[in-house]
Chains A and B, each alone.
Chain A
Amino acid sequence: MKKTALRSATLAGAVAVGLALTACSGGADTTSAASGPAEIDFWGWAPGYAEAVDAYNASQDAVVVNYEEISPGAKGGYEKMLNAVTAGNAPCLGQVGYETLTSFAAQGALEDVSDIADANKDEFSAATWAAMSVGDAVYGAPVDQGPMALFYNTEVFDSLGIAVPTTWDEYQAAAQKIHAADPSKYISATYLNYDYAGFDWQAQAPWFGVEGESWKVSIDSAAGKKVADYWQGLVDEGLMSPAPMWDQSWYTGLGDGSIATHVGAVWIAGILKGSAPDGAGKWAVAPMPQWTAGDDVTGNVGGSGTAVLEGCDNPEAAWDFAHFMSTDADTFSALVETAGLYPAANDLLTLPVLSEGDDYFGGQNIYEVFAESSAQVAEGWVWGPNMPETVGFLDDSLSGAWAGTGTIADALATTQKKTVVGLEAQGLSVTE
């Protein structure tokens, strides 16, 4: 699960030497109006953030942001932030993936800034704003998002004369035709943790919810079962490639056409270009298949925001920067180019850098599809209070299900059971 958390948060997760900076909570004296600009510390890892901070510092005199580049969240960055919060020397701001934000909140590691932030709510896509919130509390500004669509290999589809599937039924029919024509070709490969969650997200089968003062755990919901049974059907018919996602065999399959589609988030485009160069010119993007013909509902995988960490003594200044980085057109254009981030702010979806054709995709401007998808991401998805644990449970049984041991539905049921036990063991209030 660590893998996707990293992937989803940043595309080119490069990491460099970060300078040790003093923590913001210790610098109370610097925030008084008389003694010059307020100082805000910010920890993150996405490439391009350092430049975004420079741009902000150059744009105004009231706040100085000190950026420190840390390891990607799931690679130790989150642990570092949580430890700093516990020790009382955390920075004011930290990069936190949406899937992890709730877990941070449930550690008491975040500061509610809803009274400052709510005014900007409408500038962001509904799904990403919800992702930075738990209940009425808002913990920071969404930066990027991962709306889903269908990546498909045009060569495979054209050679067999198959139309691009618009529903999951058509998708299954396409899978059968492709495999029948060439048994070494498959419709798609395995989906784990957050990538699988995207399917449940689309099907409006949220894994978690907040009911009053309790966590609702619904990983094995009926709606989720429908999704599980669908993919199980494809596995049982032998239509899915056994290549584990992110393994070399997966990249090879994406490059040589033996994996004909991938249903995933916008950042998959960067993966294809970087790791499946053989697929150049063959791939294209279409809207995500629907459960009911004519619907237009999608899911989201990944994305991260700038969260205000517990102990921040100048949330106004912190918010000012976070908001700037997420919404400033020039700054974000640079982030699109260096980090491949896809903006969470509605106005930025039409940036010039997101309006160009791409040779890898046969000249298609794939972002048109994703801009549409962004507006269609289903509402009501909530992440749980201990996602590292939950996706750990899930992957243990889900990878087996794709490989033919056990079923996807059983994997979800097992995860449900273990998650409830795990949360209750910590004294959290849980309903099912």
Chain B
Amino acid sequence: MTPTLASATRPPRNDRASDAPGRGRAQRDTTLGSRIGVMSVLVLATIYFLLPIWWLIVASTKPAGRQFSGNGLWFEGFGLFENIALVFEVNDGVFGQWMLNSVFYAGTSALIGTVISAMAGYAIAKYEFRGRGVVFGIILAAVLIPKIMFTLPLFLMFNQVGLLNTPIAMLLPSIVSPFGVYLARVFAAQSVPDELIEAGRLDGAGEFRVFRSVSMRIMAPALVTIFLFQFVEVWNNYLLPAMVLNDTSLQPVVVGLVGWSGSNGVVPAGTVVVGAFLSVIPLLIAFLFLQRFWRAGLTAGAIK
């Protein structure tokens, strides 16, 4: 139907990346020259990707107020714990609140959103009905148009109906995820056999019951992927919360940090650096430990 689907439904070839057995043979196949060439390009690329993160880590460990002194890329004194304490002290410890807010917004909307997406994707994948093509077309179009385009109109609308500055204004738009529906559709089509659904029906279970106790179970790993993508999307979203949430106590950490960084020295730049470092730790960990779910989503979706 679409280029993505074509590649998505094809089962992935063995991932040679992590396959130890393949290695011995591979080594014999390649020349030293090509290995050096390939590795040096990869190392260069890695330096590019990791250096800013390295700088962030190094700067965060420097004693308070010395974040920008000395060699930017090497340690100099140690004040990490003191810095962290400072981040949680500024503005009466609002940083902790921001982190909790981020977890709450991203967690809640990803959880509800995943269920809603699963239902919608499942319906499109597993039912024949009139209008299916239209619905799916609309969803694809929505995947294509960046969500951020709707933020300003949303702000104007929420302003009119008095929803500004409430968690609802952040949650409602975050719950809807056309990409989640799209992924759910792909996964449902791939992994839920029609026979199982039929069997459930023959047992006398209602449609919803079949969905909940049969299909959802089979789709579970895929649902984790959907959850993760949505979680990251909401966690990283800046414009929406920046526009609809005025109260500092309601804001997620990205908005709070940008506020600090633009506070004209009220919050020292060093503290902003350490705050940025702390704010990215949860996602960095999630990335490192949940790799296979990312790959699943990227293989299936092959789109943002």
Contact = CB atoms under 8 A, between A and B. Distances in A.
Contact of B263 (A13, A76, A80): A13
Interface stretch (A269-277, A312-320, A348-356): A269-277
Given A14-B91, A75-B259, A83-B159, A271 B246 contact: no
A80 B165 contact: yes
A6 B264 contact: yes
A277 B66 CA distance: 10
Interface stretch (A92-100, A205-213, A246-254): A246-254
Contact of A275 (B164, B165, B246, B265): B265
Contact-residue size bin, chain A (C-beta under 8 Å from the other chain): 20 to 34
Contacts of A3: 262-264
B151 interface: no
Interface string A248-289: 100110000000000000000001001101000000000000
Contact of A14 (B92, B162, B262, B264): B92
A202 to B, nearest CB: 22
B264 A7 contact: yes
A248 B68 contact: yes
Contact of B91 (A11, A15, A87): A15
B139 interface: no
A16 B92 contact: yes
Contact of A251 (B92, B248, B262, B269): B269
A274 B64 CA distance: 12
A57 interface: no
B90 interface: yes
A3 B259 CA distance: 10
A27 interface: no
Interface string A12-54: 1111111000000000000000000000000000000000000
A103 interface: no
B68 A12 contact: no
A80 B165 CA distance: 8
Contacts of A79: 246
Contacts of A251: 265, 269
A274 B249 contact: no
Residue of A70, A76, A83, A271 ringed by the most chain B CB atoms within 10 A: A76
- Interface residues of B toward A: which range? 20 to 34
Contacts of B165: 80
Interface string B87-103: 00011101001000000
A67 to B, nearest CB: 14
B59 to A, nearest CB: 11
A305 B184 CA distance: 55
Contacts of A87: 162
Contacts of B97: 17
Contacts of B264: 3-4, 6-7, 246, 271
A16 B93 CA distance: 8
A77 B247 CA distance: 8
A251 B263 CA distance: 13
Contact of A252 (B68, B159, B164, B266): B68
A71 interface: yes
Contacts of B90: 14
Interface string B248-279: 11000000000100111110110000000000
Contacts, number: 70
Determine the main DSSP class of A at the interface with B. Answer: helix
A226 B65 CA distance: 40
A179 interface: no
Contacts of A70: 246-247
Given A71-B247, A77-B246, A15 B94 contact: yes
A389 to B, nearest CB: 17
B262 A2 contact: yes
Nearest to B265: A275
A171 B257 CA distance: 38
A75 B260 CA distance: 10
Contacts of B268: 274-275
B269 A11 contact: no
A4 B266 CA distance: 11
Nearest to A86: B159
A18 B159 contact: no
A148 B259 CA distance: 27
Contacts of B259: 75
Nearest to B67: A248
A121 to B, nearest CB: 32
Contact of A277 (B65, B159, B247, B269): B65
Contacts of B164: 80, 83
A193 to B, nearest CB: 11
A70 B68 CA distance: 32
B4 to A, nearest CB: 39
Contacts of A77: 246
Given A246-B264, A248-B68, A71 B269 contact: no
A71 B246 contact: yes
Contacts of A83: 159, 164
Contacts of B159: 83
Nearest to A7: B264
Among B65, B245, B247: residue with most chain A CB under 10 A: B247
29 contacts: A3-B262, A3-B263, A4-B264, A7-B265, A11-B266, A12-B266, A13-B263, A13-B266, A14-B91, A14-B92, A14-B266, A15-B94, A16-B91, A16-B92, A16-B94, A16-B248, A16-B249, A17-B97, A70-B246, A71-B247, A75-B246, A75-B248, A75-B259, A79-B246, A80-B164, A80-B165, A83-B159, A271-B265, A275-B265
Interface of A: 2-4, 6-7, 11-18, 70-71, 75-77, 79-80, 83, 87, 246, 248, 251-252, 271, 274-275, 277
Given A14-B91, A83-B164, 18 more contacts: A3-B263, A3-B264, A6-B266, A12-B266, A13-B266, A14-B92, A16-B91, A16-B248, A17-B97, A18-B249, A70-B246, A75-B259, A76-B245, A87-B162, A246-B264, A246-B265, A271-B264, A274-B266
Which 6 pairs from chain A and chain B are nearest by CB? Answer: A76-B246, A17-B249, A15-B248, A275-B265, A16-B92, A7-B264
